[in-house]
Amino acid sequence: MLYLTTPSGVKVRAAMAAGLLGWMQTPAQGNILPPGQTWGADNGCFGRGYPGDEGYLSFLSAHGDRARNCLFATAPDVVGDAVKTMTRSLPFLPEIRRRGYPAALVAQNGLEALTVPWDDFDVLFIGGDTEWKLGEHARALTSEACRRGMWVHMGRVNSLKRLRYAQSIGCRSADGTYVAFGPDVNLPKCLEWVRRVNEEAPLWRAA
């Protein structure tokens, strides 16, 4: 299991450089991504960080020399709504791939009722509200993605309990903002979560 977070200070960046954490980059951050860093590209739709369609594609193009180290780039989504997400995401998936990134579809509430275009994306990103994310439909979608050999990532993971859960259903990476809220205290705790989960089942390192 690999845990991605924002580069909140020197100690967090050092942990990322050592391969203990992954780097989550959004268009609104403005951080300079180091060469060779394992990272994920998040569109910023959760919140107010989305720069618009052209802005997001420009962001991906600008980081194109780092695409080979990127686990995924998320297509734009609509939080909690799979129908609207599908409408918004489908045109972007080939554009993301065209720029050299693994394209991620963000799974939202209701995706289980739709025809999932599995061949059109490379990574399943488990989004949705908390109840849906932790429910049977997200588990079933994760299982199907794993059966197809796809990478699965879970967003908004901010506790050891949830990190363990993500790993238990087949996710190979997760992200959260826990470390950003007091890195001096929370970074050691987060690194301990990752260590414990990987000792129990080091899925992502086996890839």
Q: How confident is the model at residue 184 (pLDDT cuts 50, 70, 90)?
A: very high
pLDDT of res. 202: 60
Average pLDDT over residues 57-83: 98
What digits encode the pLDDT tens for the residues 110-143? 999 999 999 999 999 999 999 999 999 999 999 9
Indicate whether 201 pLDDT > 90.
Answer: no
Region class of 41: left (phi > 0), else alpha (psi between -120 and 50), else beta: beta
d(CA 70, CA 143): 23
Core vs surface per residue 100-120: b (16+ CB within 10 A) or e: bbbbbbbbbbbbeeeebeeee
Residue 172 has φ and ψ, to the nearest 5°, of -110, -5
Tell me, what's the pLDDT at 104? 99
